[in-house]
């Protein structure tokens, strides 16, 4: 097979010469040529009349994408999906988000620039080039400066190109051919294995060195603070408990003691003070599903998973419970009953009443009559 010509190269000795040579080659009308120097040379863009690279737009585009992703995901996670108060700051705490936004912007911008450069200009994953492994490439990556006029140039003629280059003062003029076959593959299995081994060994070594050999804390005053952690022993109090019992003879703010505490049933009727509005029932449903359904089941049938593992929680649809007034239901909730614990400390009074209202809805739904259904249908219209 005939060898295919890639181009003609020449070497130069000084930056001034290479600038002149680049100018000369351009002025002789060549367009497919390139200049190789061991380091960037001021004035080369002008000598070659290079247009500013378009890569900047990619950088800008991805930079802005980074900005958007950062702001959106922080807004979504911190302010929308699972709002949490951190340090008393607003959910959407913009100043605190700026560093992350900045980092992600810069990260995506640089990654896009590098990857874009590799793919658009270096034809990644192709990693071979006819100039690789030539003496020319060795020289220009060391201490020489070189020009290569490529054979795909419309004006290309091998003898003319050679005389042009030597006319400009170039020496060591060479013809460069495409290699017959290129066996440099990026995704060579051996290379991949090599990469994996290197990654595993270095990260393992670093982990071992940092965590086992020289475990050091830069500072400890954030880890070991003078504060009480719940469930942990403390030296601060004589009894060593960090969670403190209620101070004798005091009442928590907003706490109203339940007057029928400990009695089997309220001695006077407690009147339900709430109106079962849609909002109230929604609250009741939420709280019922949270606190009551694990035992009494989602619909109050007493059919939860606990059946058989625990004194069976009764159905809330029994004639007895349906016959109770709201106050009685409330009483069981606040006071507990036999093995059912009291929910006084977990559930606020208005939430308790909302639960009671919701139980009433469940009961009504279980025992609805035809007239009830017709009435609902009519209302629906």
Nearest approach, Cβ of residue 368 and ligand HEC (Å): 20
Phi, psi of 379 (to 5 degrees): -60, -40
In the bound state with ligand HEC, the residue whose beta carbon lies nearer, of 209 and 265, is 265
The span from the CA of 337 to the CA of 313, in Å, is 11
Residues 6+ apart with CB under 8 A from 360: 276, 326
Residue 55 binding result from other proteins, ligand HEC, none, given CB thresholds of 5 to 8 Å by partner type = none
Segment contacting ligand HEC by CB under 6 A, of 125-133, 218-226, 250-258, 337-345:
337-345
Within positions 326 to 365, which residues make up the interface with other proteins, using CB under 8 A?
none
Residues 20-79 touching other proteins, rule: CB under 8 A, are 42-43, 45-46, 52, 56
To other proteins, the closest distance from the beta carbon of 7 in angstroms equals 27
Instruction: Rank residues 176 and 333 by Cβ distance to ligand HEC and give the closer one.
Output: 333
Query: Following DSSP, what letter does each residue of 296-361 receive, concatenated?
Result: H-TTSSS-STTBTTBSPPPPTTSHHHHHS-HHHHHHHHHH-BTTBPP-TTTS-HHHHHHHHHHHHH
User: From residue 276 to residue 305, what is the string marking binding to ligand HEC with x (rule CB under 6 A)?
Assistant: ---------------xx-xxx---------
> What DSSP character marks residue 213?
I
Q: Which of 333, 334, 354, 362 binds ligand HEC (CB under 6 A)?
A: 333
Beta strands in the chain (DSSP E): 5-12, 33-36, 145-150, 171-177
320 binds, among ligand HEC, other proteins, none (CB under 5 to 8 A by kind): ligand HEC
| Residue 46 partner contact from ligand HEC, other proteins, none using kind-dependent CB cut-offs of 5 to 8 Å | other proteins
Instruction: Output 210 or 282, the one with its CB closest to ligand HEC.
Output: 282
Among 140, 343, 351, 362, binds ligand HEC (CB under 6 A): 343
Contact 6, 163 (CB under 8 A): no
Give the CB-side neighbour count of residue 60, counting CA atoms within 13 A: 5
Could you tell me if 23 and 35 are in contact, meaning their C-beta atoms sit under 8 angstroms apart?
Answer: no
Binding residues among 203-232 for other proteins as defined by CB under 8 A: none
* CB of 75 or CB of 156, closer to other proteins: 75
Q: Residue 26 and residue 14: Cα distance in Å, rounded?
A: 18
Q: In what order do the strands lie in the sheet with 5-12?
A: 33-36, 145-150, 5-12, 171-177
Cα separation, 181 vs 25, whole angstroms: 31
* 108 sits near ligand HEC (criterion: CB under 6 A): no
* Whole-number Å distance between alpha carbons of 78 and 74: 6
Using the rule CB under 6 A, is 364 a contact of ligand HEC? no
Q: What is the signed CA dihedral for 54, 72, 94, 102, rounded to 10 degrees? A: -30
In the complex, the residues that contact other proteins under the rule CB under 8 A are 42-43, 45-46, 52, 56, 87-89, 95-96, 98-99
Residues near ligand HEC (CB under 6 A): 291-292, 294-296, 311, 313-314, 316, 318, 320-321, 329, 332-333, 337-340, 343, 355
């Amino acid at each position: 097979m005939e060898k295919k010509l890639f181009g003609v190269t020449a070497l130069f000795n000084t930056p001034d010469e290479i600038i002149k040579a680049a100018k000369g080659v351009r002025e002789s009308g060549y367009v497919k040529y390139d200049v190789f120097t061991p380091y960037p040379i001021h004035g080369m863009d002008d000598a070659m009349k290079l247009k500013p690279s378009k890569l900047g737009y990619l950088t800008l585009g991805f930079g802005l994408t980074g900005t958007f992703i950062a702001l959106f995901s922080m807004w979504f996670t911190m302010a929308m999906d699972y709002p949490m108060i951190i340090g008393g700051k607003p959910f959407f705490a913009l100043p605190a988000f700026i560093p992350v936004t900045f980092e992600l912007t810069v990260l995506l911008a640089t990654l896009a620039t590098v990857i874009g450069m590799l793919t658009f200009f270096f034809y990644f994953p192709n990693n071979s080039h006819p100039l690789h492994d030539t003496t020319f490439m060795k020289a220009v990556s060391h201490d020489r400066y070189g020009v290569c006029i490529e054979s795909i140039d419309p004006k290309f003629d091998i003898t003319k190109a050679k005389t042009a280059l030597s006319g400009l003062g170039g020496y060591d003029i060479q013809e460069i051919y495409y290699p017959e076959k290129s066996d440099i593959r990026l995704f060579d299995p051996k290379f991949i294995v090599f990469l994996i081994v290197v990654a595993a060994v270095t990260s393992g070594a670093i982990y071992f060195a940092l965590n086992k050999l020289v475990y050091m804390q830069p500072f400890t005053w954030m880890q070991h603070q003078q504060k009480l952690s719940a469930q942990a022993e403390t030296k601060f109090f004589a009894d060593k408990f960090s969670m403190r019992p209620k101070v004798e003879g005091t009442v928590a703010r907003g706490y109203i003691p339940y007057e029928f505490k400990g009695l089997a049933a309220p001695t006077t009727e407690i009147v339900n003070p709430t109106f079962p509005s849609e909002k109230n029932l929604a609250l009741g449903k939420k709280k019922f599903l949270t606190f009551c359904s694990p035992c009494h089941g989602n619909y109050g049938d007493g059919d939860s998973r606990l059946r058989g593992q625990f004194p069976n929680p009764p159905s809330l649809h029994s004639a007895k419970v349906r016959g109770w007034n709201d106050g009685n239901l409330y009483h069981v909730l606040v006071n507990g009953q036999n093995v059912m614990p009291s929910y006084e400390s977990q559930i606020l009074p208005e939430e308790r009443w909302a639960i009671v209202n919701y139980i009433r809805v469940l009961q009504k739904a279980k025992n609805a009559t035809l007239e009830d259904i017709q009435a609902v249908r009519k209302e629906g219209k």
